[in-house]
């Protein structure tokens, strides 16, 4: 963190289905490292406190995702990108990639070789993000993540006083998908304390009985969060999804990776067709998800999911870090 005179960090914010994404535009320390993985380790080791301050109160808020552009290690990418939220480093965030691409083009931080496609180098490889426009105004985008699949279906878990059948699915990260009605919880913000407690119990119960890891890459392991599903409240939406992360953070969006994992569960149940699925967030925003085809992961029947969303730009900031600020590192309520 800074010493002496105040450090200034500039950023542009947008939300996707309610989830705030903060793209850093200046003032952040340069990341060293030859590869994106090296730069991610530098981010964790040297700048984790600054990242936490940028996504926490009083400068940020719960659920904010930080997006940091870097020089790509491959000429096939327009930029490298690292994502961070209160739980730490994010290998994938579909709604964050859409917002970051739209903001980077709007702020002229990236001039992609193809006018409407930003090719990001990510920890999961190069992921193209298509930006959408109304005239010269960037209004949203779409992207496809890695193949999504169900790792375990109908797994019995004890949570509270209930025995719940849950699904463990991957959509760029591992999520536990839980039917809210079965869990005795309504998918609404007023139920946040209950969902936090249940998510913690569910994750601990699963981790006590099994090890969750990607069959094609065992280095990808662990549960990112729990997604509670329920009936949609907004006309035109098909269902509501509220992700609760392992650190207790509740996503204001349905989460891009979470939406892909949810599509994998629906596909396994025979409910996912070729028509787009409109997934409603905790605050009424909409994230679209479309199953584009099968994509086997070893012996597992995986699918390719394309995510689509509008973005709303909400601010441009100069964020100050005064050395004598007693809340320099931020806080979460």
Residues 6-61 pLDDT 10s: 899 999 999 999 999 999 999 998 888 888 888 988 888 889 899 999 999 999 98
* pLDDT tier at 135, thresholds 50, 70, 90: confident
Q: Which residues pair with 74 in a beta bridge?
A: none
What is the sign, positive or negative, of the torsion defined by CA atoms of 318, 319, 324, 326? positive
More confident residue, 48 or 120: 120
Rounded to whole angstroms, the Cα distance separating 39 from 41 reads 5
**Contact (CB, 8 A) for 94 and 263:** no
H/E segment holding residue 36: helix 36-55
Say whether pLDDT at 304 is over 50: yes
* pLDDT tier at 91, thresholds 50, 70, 90: confident
Contacts of 329 (CB under 8 A, 6+ apart): 1, 49, 52, 53, 56
Going along the chain from its start, the domains and CATH numbers come out as: 7-141+313-321 (3.10.310.10), 149-301 (3.10.310.10)
More confident residue, 129 or 42: 129
pTM of the prediction?
Answer: 0.92
The pLDDT score that the predictor gives to residue 3 is: 52
**Span 136-178, pLDDT tens digits:** 899 999 999 999 999 999 999 988 778 899 999 999 999 999 9
**Span 230-265, pLDDT tens digits:** 999 999 999 999 999 999 999 999 999 999 999 999
DSSP 78: S
Rounded to whole angstroms, the Cα distance separating 145 from 258 reads 11
* pLDDT tier at 2, thresholds 50, 70, 90: very low
**Span 182-228, pLDDT tens digits:** 999 999 888 999 999 999 999 999 999 899 999 999 999 999 999 99
Read off φ and ψ for residue 156, nearest 5 degrees. -75, 130
């Amino acid at each position: 963190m800074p010493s002496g005179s105040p450090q200034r960090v500039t950023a542009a914010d947008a939300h996707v289905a309610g989830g705030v994404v903060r793209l850093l535009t200046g003032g952040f320390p340069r990341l060293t490292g030859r590869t994106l993985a090296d730069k991610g380790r530098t981010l964790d080791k040297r700048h984790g406190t600054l990242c936490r301050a940028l996504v926490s109160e009083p400068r940020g808020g719960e659920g904010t995702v930080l997006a940091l552009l870097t020089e790509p290690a491959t000429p096939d990418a327009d930029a490298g990108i690292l994502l961070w939220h209160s739980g730490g480093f994010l290998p994938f965030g579909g709604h964050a990639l859409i917002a970051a691409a739209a903001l980077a083009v709007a702020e002229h931080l990236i001039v992609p070789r193809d006018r409407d496609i930003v090719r990001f180098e990510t920890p999961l490889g190069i992921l193209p993000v298509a930006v959408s426009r109304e005239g010269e105004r960037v209004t949203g985008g779409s992207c496809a993540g890695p193949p999504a699949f169900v790792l375990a279906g109908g797994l019995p878990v004890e949570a509270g006083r209930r025995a719940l059948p849950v699904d463990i699915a991957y959509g760029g990260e591992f999520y536990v998908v839980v039917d809210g009605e079965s869990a005795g919880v309504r998918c609404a913000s007023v139920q946040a304390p209950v969902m936090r407690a249940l998510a913690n119990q569910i994750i601990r119960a699963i981790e006590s009985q099994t090890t969750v890891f990607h069959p094609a890459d065992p280095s990808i392991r662990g549960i990112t969060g729990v997604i509670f599903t329920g009936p949609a409240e907004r006309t035109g939406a098909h269902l509501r999804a509220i992700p609760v992360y392992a650190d207790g953070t509740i996503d204001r969006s349905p989460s891009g990776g979470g939406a892909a994992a949810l599509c994998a569960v629906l596909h396994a149940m025979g409910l996912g067709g070729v028509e787009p699925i409109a997934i409603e967030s905790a605050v009424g925003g909409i994230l679209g998800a479309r199953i584009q085809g099968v994509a086997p992961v070893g012996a597992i029947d995986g699918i390719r999911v394309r995510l689509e969303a509008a973005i709303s730009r909400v601010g441009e900031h100069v964020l100050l870090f005064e050395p004598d600020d007693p809340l320099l590192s931020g806080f979460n309520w």
